Amino acid sequence: MNILDISKDIIATAQRPLDQAQTLPPQAYTDEAWFTHEAEHILRAGWLCAGHVSQLKQPGATLPLDLLGEPVMLVRGNDDVIRVLSRVCPHRASDLLLGGEATGCHVAGSVLTCPYHHWTFALDGKLMGAPHMQGAVDFNKAEWKLNNIRSAVWEGFIFVNLNDEAPPLETYFADFTAIAAPWQLAEMELVISMDWDCAFNWKVMVENWIESYHHIGPHSKTLNPYMPAQDTWTEPPNGAFVYAHLPMTGRDAAPVREAIASGAPGTGFLPIPGVPVERQGEWNLFVGFPCFMLLLARDRAIWYRLQPISAERCRLTTTTLVSRASLQAPGYAQTLEAETKMLFDFHVEDMQVNEAVQRGLRSRHAVRGRLSQLEEPVWQFHRLLAAQMADFR
């Protein structure tokens, strides 16, 4: 299958009604040429979530990140504005970080220094110093800077658009904003963060994140006793995100239901004030297209940051955010430890199935499967993918 065939196939597949829905062609998850196409027209063309404001508290705070081959860094400036700067030095193109994103970024005296010839930059990217350049005729420092990459902050999450073509994030996520507003996500603190190297396609991760049919499989002992697969349901499609509800109707969720009914804090972190009672008794699960994975619960938000790398590889950071008041609650340290373990345990269950899926997709025996009605979120994700691709046929 060439790129055009894969593209036509995805568009045709997404047109099938839910009761006829099937999986995408396996090549959409394994073919490098297709990944390159998708990276250009889906990922760089969309809004990718890179960080949360609580990760950049003070002026001079930085968060480096390699995104689709672009070395970038999130920086809070002296003016308190968060910018996304290219890490590519305008002198001889060195990455400002010798070891890439993993090394972190040292800011001394509000100045970023390139390790190669020590050109220095202000936190907004302007060139401050360039040693021994007096012999370069017409060299004007004001003309040289680190590129500012288009970014936007949505409810405290910092998004990047790598090709300047995405619609304004505010407009794109307008309906999403209305749903998420009660959680006051911009006021939350990111307290758990774990990195994962993933041997699977980015869409395998997104599809696994957004459907809960698999609670009966890998999560049969962890999540299913709280949120049984058969009770999950999905909001009607919209043009920007998928929204699935995971009601806590299971046997093990009885204490949570009682706490909500009586207004007691219950287990876990402190409940977030203002979350409507009808939203408290469920996990509210979202994918903001293309790959912003967010879960909103009574006492926390879970956010998965995705960095697609190649057809069969991505990096993932699994995080949890809680209210500031939670940090002061009695027993916070024990709660944090228990909830970190909970996030780790159920994510390991997902890692194993995702790797198993990728091995299957690579096989010559991979077939086009049919979807359950419980996989409506996957069907909706495919429709968003197809709608975006239809513009590039």
Binding site for ligand FES (CB under 6 A): 89, 91-92, 94, 114, 116-117, 119
Question: 121: part of which helix (H) or strand (E)?
Answer: strand 120-122
* Shortest distance in whole angstroms from residue 143 CB to ligand FES: 15
**Which of Fe ion, ligand FES, none lies near 116, with the C-beta cut-off 5 to 8 A by kind?**
ligand FES
In whole angstroms, how far apart are CA 284 and each of 133, 344, 361? 56, 19, 29
Q: How far is the CB of 118 from ligand FES (least distance, A)?
A: 6
Site map (CB under 5 A) of Fe ion, residues 302-341, x = contact: ----------------------------------------
Task: State the residue for tokens 């012999």.
Answer: 135
Nearer to ligand FES, 91 or 150 (CB): 91
Choose among ligand FES, Fe ion, none what residue 279 binds, the Cβ cut-off being 5 to 8 Å by kind.
none
Distance CA 196, CA 301 (A): 19
SS (HEC) of 16-62: CCHHHCECCCCHHHHCHHHHHHHHHHHHCCCCEEEEEHHHCCCCCCE
Min separation Cβ 122 and ligand FES, Å? 15
Nearest to 219 by CA among 206, 203, 208: 208
Which residues make Cβ contacts (< 8 Å) with residue 370, sequence separation at least 6? Answer: 21, 22, 23
Q: Name the residue nearer to ligand FES (CB basis): 56 or 89.
A: 89
Which partner, ligand FES, Fe ion, none, binds residue 359 by CB below 5 to 8 Å per kind?
none
- Give the nearest distance from C-beta 15 to Fe ion in angstroms: 28
Q: Judge whether 321 and 49 are in contact, CB under 8 Å.
A: no
Sign of CA dihedral 336, 193, 385, 148: positive
Element (H, E) at 70: strand 70-76
Residue 16 contact, options Fe ion, ligand FES, none, Cβ 5-8 Å cut-off depending on partner type: none
Of the listed pieces 67-75, 350-358, 359-367, 380-388, which binds Fe ion according to CB under 5 A?
A: 350-358
- Shortest Å, Cβ 121 to ligand FES: 9
CB of 151 to ligand FES, least distance (A): 23
By CB under 5 A, name the one of 95, 350, 375, 376 that touches Fe ion: 350
Going from the C-alpha of 295 to that of each of 115, 243, 302, the distances in angstroms are 39, 10, 5
Place of tokens 């307008």: 174
- With CB under 5 to 8 Å by kind, the binding choice for 350 among ligand FES, Fe ion, none is Fe ion
Residues 114-173 that bind Fe ion (CB under 5 A): none
75 binding partner (options ligand FES, Fe ion, none; Cβ < 5 to 8 Å by kind): none
Return the structure tokens found at 341.
């373990």
**Of the two residues 224 and 326, which places its CB atom closer to Fe ion in the complex?**
224
